[in-house]
Amino acid sequence: MIKEKRHYLLVECTADVSAMRDFEKDLQNEMMRCIGEIDYHTVNPRFERLEGDRGFIISGTVEGFGRLIVALSMIKRIGGADIAMFTLKRSGTVTGLMKGMDEREG
């Protein structure tokens, strides 16, 4: 079996996502609503982890990565809170994604 190639995306939000209950589940539901079930399974998004109060890392297949970015840009409300999401960086690995982010903050 061939391993699925994935890309990782660092996303910053306007709302405090660390305080939201069930953020991961609500995000998946909104993505499915925005891009549809077939595209959702093509993208195969995975919530990787939170990054601070307003950021998170999400991954998707290389083939469906464009649709992942479109889905994130279309989401305007999660868990009853208004939200906007901005993509900061894209990489093939989480290590590559975080490289250089510490220098930017300092």
Whether the predicted model's global pTM rises above the 0.85 cut: yes
Q: Is the pLDDT of residue 83 over 90?
A: yes
Residue 81 CA to residue 56 CA, distance in Å, equals 17
Residue that has been written with the tokens 């991954």 in this structure = 59
Q: How many domains does the chain have?
A: 1
71 closest CA partner among 25, 14, 102, 32: 32
pLDDT digits (tens, 9 = 90+) for 54-64: 999 999 999 99
Domain, as residue range, for 64: 6-93
pLDDT digits (tens, 9 = 90+) for 15-30: 999 888 899 999 999 9
- pLDDT bin (cut points 50, 70, 90) of residue 106 is very low
CATH number reported for the structural domain that contains residue 21 in this entry? 3.30.70.3250
- The answer to whether residue 102 sits within a structural domain is no
